[in-house]
Amino acid sequence: MGLKEANIVLDNQFNTYFPGQTVNGRVEYVFDSPKKVRGIHVKIKGEAHTSWSESRRQDTSDGKTEDVDETISGHEEYFNINYYLLGSNSGNEIEIPAGRQVYNFTCTLPPVLPSSFEGQFGYIRYTIKVTLDRPWKFDQETKIAFTVINPLDLNLNPSYKTPLRLQMEKTFCCLCCASAPLSVDLQAPVTGYCPGQAIPIQLDVENKSNVQLHLIKVFLRKLVTYRATNTSASTSIKKTKDVVVTIQEGPVVAGGSKQFNLKLEVPPIPPSNLVNCSIIDLDYDIKVECAVSGMHFNLKDKKYVTIGTVPLVGGAPPSPSQPAVLHAGDAVGPGWVAPSAPPYQSLYPSLTDPVYKEGNYSARTLQDKTDTNYTQIANANNFAPFYPTYAAVLPPPLPQ
C-alpha cells in the first residue's frame, strides 16, 4: 500500500496569520513500506474567485431562440510559492523509508493581502498543498486551508468614532386626513465595532398616530458585491444582502411612546476591508424596519457600520510613525501557539488579546480544478476562517 497517513500541521492553533508573517509548518507521513518518489513538493497560494450562473437567450441554427445557462466568473491570484522539500521534478528517484517521516516547510506572506472570506458566490482563500511526486503513477496530494487577517485598526480613522443615528418619521392618511406622526429614533455610540462586541442600541419611539406599531426589527447585514472578469454577458456583477443577526422589540400602541435599550452582538465575521481584492467588495450596515398595522407601508432605513480587527480604545490614536508589531507566534515551537496579535494592538496596553473563533460562513468545498481523486483535503466541506473577537472590550457608552 505504501502511504498510510498524511497530515499538514502549522505552527499555531487556529492556522491564522497576518500579512507579512512567516508560516511555518510540517508535513507528516506514515508509510507501511518504503516508497519511491521523484520528490516532495509544496505549493502555497492565495487567490480570490467568483462564480455564478445566468440565463441568456441564444439564437439557434434553425432560426429559433433558446435559453442557455452561462457560468461567469472572476479570478485573481495574490501569490503562488512552489518548491521541493525533497528531490526535484527532474532528478532521480528517491526511496523514502517505512515509518513516520516529517518534512518542514516555511513561507513568508506578502505584506499586503485581503482577509480570508467565504461567500455564496466567491471566496478569498489561502491554501497549502503538499505532493508526493511519483514517477509513472498518480501523485498523492495533501491539502489544507488557512486564514489570513488583514488588520483594520478602528482607532486610526476618526470617522469610526462618530455616533450612529437613524431618525424616521411617518404620517398615515385616512381618507383626506393625515394623522400625527410616528417617530422612531435609533442611536448607537459609534460606527466602528469588532466581532465579539455587543453594539448598544437605544430606540426611542413616539407614536402620536392612530396606527399601532407592531414590531421593530434591527438587522446587522453583510453586503457583498461579486465581480466577473471573463464573461461576455452584459451583467458582470452579483450583489447579495445577508442578515447576520437580528433583534426585535415592540409593540407600541397608537398614541403611546416607549424607549428600548438593546444589544446587537457581532458574531465572528470578516473585517470590512477586503483590501487589494478587486473582484469582491464587503460592507456592513444596520437596517431598521418598523412593521405597522393596516394597509400602510412599513418604515425602513439603514446606515453603514465598519467591522474591524482592533477595537476602539480610550486615548489618542497611535502615531503613524510607530511600526506595526507582530509578536507571539512567529517562532516555530514544539507545539501549537496562539496567533500573533493584530498589528498595532501592542500600542494599546489596556487592550486584551483577542479570542479567535470560527466564522459563521464556511466553504462549500475546498476542492478546485487542480485537485484529483488522489487529493486528500482536510475539512473539505466545512472549512471556515477564524477571526479575532473582543467580547471583553466594551464599546463606548451611548451619548447622554
Closest CA to 291 of 179, 180, 220, 207: 207
Domain architecture of the chain: domains with CATH:
3-152+315-389 (2.60.40.640), 154-307 (2.60.40.640)
Cell 470617522 appears where? Answer: 159
Going by their DSSP bridges, the two strands 140-148 and 375-377 should be labelled as parallel
Kindly report the number of other CB atoms within 10 A of residue 50's CB atom: 25
Judged against a pLDDT cut of 60, whether residue 336 lies above it is answered with: no
d(CA 384, CA 362): 4
pLDDT score of 232: 61
Judged against a pLDDT cut of 70, whether residue 337 lies above it is answered with: no
d(CA 135, CA 220): 54
Mean pLDDT of 284-313: 92
* Residues with Cβ within 8 Å of residue 218, at least 6 apart in sequence: 186, 201, 203, 246, 247, 248, 262, 264, 286, 287, 288
pLDDT score of 335: 46
pLDDT in tens, 203-215: 999 999 888 999 9
* Residues with Cβ within 8 Å of residue 381, at least 6 apart in sequence: 363, 364, 365, 366
Dihedral (C-alpha) 29, 34, 36, 42: value to the nearest 10 degrees?
10
pLDDT in tens, 9-48: 999 889 999 999 999 999 999 999 998 899 999 999 999 9
300 within 8 A of 218, measured Cβ to Cβ: no
Mean pLDDT of 119-127: 97
Judged against a pLDDT cut of 70, whether residue 267 lies above it is answered with: yes
Dihedral (C-alpha) 395, 340, 222, 127: value to the nearest 10 degrees?
-170
**What confidence category does residue 135 fall into, taking pLDDT thresholds of 50, 70 and 90?**
confident
* Residues with Cβ within 8 Å of residue 205, at least 6 apart in sequence: 182, 183, 184, 185, 213, 216, 252, 257, 258, 259, 260
d(CA 149, CA 15): 11
d(CA 355, CA 127): 23
pLDDT, mean over the chain: 87
The residue with greater pLDDT, 346 or 27, is 27
* Residues with Cβ within 8 Å of residue 137, at least 6 apart in sequence: none
pLDDT score of 249: 93
pTM comes to 0.89
**What confidence category does residue 161 fall into, taking pLDDT thresholds of 50, 70 and 90?**
very high
Cell 478546485 appears where? Answer: 368
d(CA 144, CA 130): 9
The full DSSP string for 52-93 is EEEEEEEE-TTS-EEEEEEEEEEEEEEEEEEEEEEE-SSS--
d(CA 388, CA 385): 10
Mean pLDDT of 192-206: 96
Mean pLDDT of 1-5: 80
